[in-house]
Chain A
Amino acid sequence: MARIELVNLRKEFGALVAVKDINVTIEDEEFVVFVGPSGCGKTTTLRMIAGFEDPTAGEIRIGGRVVNDLEPRDRGLGMVFQSHALFPHKTVAQNIEFGLRMKKVPPAERARQVQEVAEMVRLTHLLDKMPAQCSGGESQRVALARTLVTHPSTFLLDEPLSSLDAKLRRELRAECDRLHQALKRTFIFVTHDQEEAMTLADRIVVMRNGVIEQMGSPMEIYSNPVNSFVADFFGSPSMNLLSGEVVHESGMCRFRCASGGFQVGLPDRFNGLPAGPITLGIRPEHVNAVPVGNGATNDLELAVRLVEPLGKETLLYFDVGMERPFVTVSESTAMAELDSGARLGLTLAREQICLFGPDGHRIRAGSAA
């Protein structure tokens, strides 16, 4: 019913191309998260769907119907703005009621629905307050309630949680999830926070510079990134990226790091790779760290620069002569007690190694190169 299709959608602001011919189909009742760094065109895309910006080219279809020329109010969408955009001169109750009044719902029915939705997002105690008297999280819920009450087919949410503290963020994130389950509506959620995207989304759309880099389920995006940008963007701490080159030694294909001088053998599927510059990516949890001198053979030995115990696990930072430290995560409690400077042996899980070409694109196997 509310399947939304973006077809070759493009938006230019003068010489700047904010959105470059993107194609996305959002299924009914799907929770899609648009994510990407600041300025990549997320808000612009959302505003085109809502009808506040006219696309330079391309089509927007809602339920199969082209809506490019439809006024925002006729598109059957609800939007929660990043700034919340409450009506400052109206009470919370009047704010929520606004959409119903526009639909000419009779007063008694309006009051009932306002009460109902206020209970749903837990703000009955705020109904008589003015927006200026509400905290960030409360305003957020008012904005959500104001949209909920009009029963839109689709919710557009533009970084709705960005102005909140970490705890409230988690709470409201859970609330969004709960609402999505309960309402069975389409949600399009914009954020630049990869964690928010990972936890909420059925499907993630990763954007950069107005282009969609990758679309897929959170796990797909996490474990199977198509390029080094996506690999780097998701996960906290993010994937270790080491620049270096492919070398061939006695028929084996190996990676030699540009600095630090260590080498790692690559899985067999990369055997056909030609020698040349390459970037190796490995997630922190796919590196095994053990104290040196226990007899095991390690890929490399490094001195810990910083130990960061997080309770359940411990982050270990190593200096490999690159811009960013090499990070591993260990669940062993002994690691939390380590002093910086201690030498550890590291082993990379072979099958989890990702290789990226000089242009950042993923290299899946030797034959592809």
Chain B
Amino acid sequence: MTKSQKNRIGSIVRYTLLTIWAVIVAFPLYWMVSTSFKPSEQWFAWPTVYIPDPWTIVNYLDVWTDRQEVATGQYIISAQRPWIAFGNSLMIALTATTLSVVYGAVIAYGVSRYRVLSEVRMFQLLMLRMIPPIVIVAPLSLYYSALGLLDTATGLILIYFLTTLPYSVWMLKSFIDEVPREVEQAAEILGAPRWRTLVEVVLPLVRSGIVATFLFILILTWSEYLLALLLAKTEVVTLPIELSKYQGTTEGRVYGRQAALSVGITVPLVFIGLIIRKHLARGFSFGMIRR
């Protein structure tokens, strides 16, 4: 076998595996989107309906507007308020993520440049994240009720901020480590005060990393379920909690509506991802700075 033949076989195998993998990954997404356009009788029809026929947007109208269309009579759902949940999620996730990334960046810089945390402490920080949230949620809800944080946006922001902080510190540290110290020192000896070195030299060089970290944390907080369920739920409802309300003992699962809501939850993330994709590619490939 010649070398080029080997290469061809190699790439055929590679692409076949990747295609299979892509199908496995993409199928649930496809299923979500297609279900959201199906009329109610096709939600769990047998034989399986893969492509909605006829297409309908009634699920979307039902979930996202006040219009109660035909199919509803069959499944009576308590009045849902997805837009309020959407607003809550947006506010809580963005605030918590911003806090996490800003604080994370400050700590990561301190660790990278001044070792404010030793290696052991850094590892302990990561270990914190390995505790399953279910372990802390019961005592936490006691504290929260004592502090009046239960069922408040502030309470959720606080816990999201704290639980994602280890991730942002670790991720951002790896980006800051990539910026050679000497580049900063060069700015310093050329007369730049500390803050200008940070703003003009360090920040532009880790911008992609910050954006990548931001999106990562945003996805975590945007789709968080357990803490939102146990620490909030009635006054403050986030989208994942809202989603869980589309099923019940009497109504059964309202798949079409759920799918329509899920699409609404997913689209903003995809949208943000598209806007910042240039940074993501760079942020996740590291090593952008030539030494």
> Smallest Cβ distance from B149 to chain A, in angstroms?
42
Do B191 and A83 have beta carbons less than 8 Å apart?
no
Contacting B at CB under 8 A, from A66-101, are 71-73, 75, 77-79, 81, 83, 85-89, 98-99
Complex partner residue of B190 from A51, A71, A102, CB under 8 angstroms? A102
Q: Give the complex CA separation of A147 and B189 in angstroms.
A: 9
Interface size class of A (residues with CB under 8 A): 20 to 34
Which residues of B have CB within 8 Å of A150?
Answer: 190-191
A83-B291, A89-B204, A89-B205 are known contacts. Are A102 and B196 too (CB-CB below 8 A)? yes
Interface centre among A75, A79, A88, A103 (most CB of B within 10 A): A88
Do A72 and B189 have beta carbons less than 8 Å apart?
yes
Contacting A at CB under 8 A, from B168-223, are 180, 182-183, 185-193, 196, 200-201, 204-205
Whether A1 sits at the interface, judged by CB under 8 Å, is no
Q: Give the complex CA separation of A279 and B185 in angstroms.
A: 46
Which residues of B have CB within 8 Å of A78?
Answer: 189-190
How many cross-chain pairs have Cβ atoms below 8 Å apart between A and B? 63
Which residues of B have CB within 8 Å of A87?
Answer: 183, 186-187, 201
Do A73 and B290 have beta carbons less than 8 Å apart?
no
Q: Give the complex CA separation of A71 and B189 in angstroms.
A: 9
> Which residues of chain B have a CB within 8 Å of any CB of chain A?
180, 182-183, 185-193, 196, 200-201, 204-205, 288-291
Do A73 and B205 have beta carbons less than 8 Å apart?
no
Complex partner residue of B185 from A52, A88, A131, CB under 8 angstroms? A52
Do A73 and B191 have beta carbons less than 8 Å apart?
yes
> Smallest Cβ distance from A182 to chain B, in angstroms?
21
Which residues of A have CB within 8 Å of B201?
Answer: 87
Q: Give the complex CA separation of A99 and B185 in angstroms.
A: 12
Q: Which chain B residue lies CB-closest to A75?
A: B189
Q: Give the complex CA separation of A73 and B191 in angstroms.
A: 5
Q: Give the complex CA separation of A103 and B193 in angstroms.
A: 11
Complex partner residue of B191 from A52, A88, A102, A132, CB under 8 angstroms? A102
> Smallest Cβ distance from A77 to chain B, in angstroms?
7
Do A81 and B185 have beta carbons less than 8 Å apart?
yes
Whether A146 sits at the interface, judged by CB under 8 Å, is yes
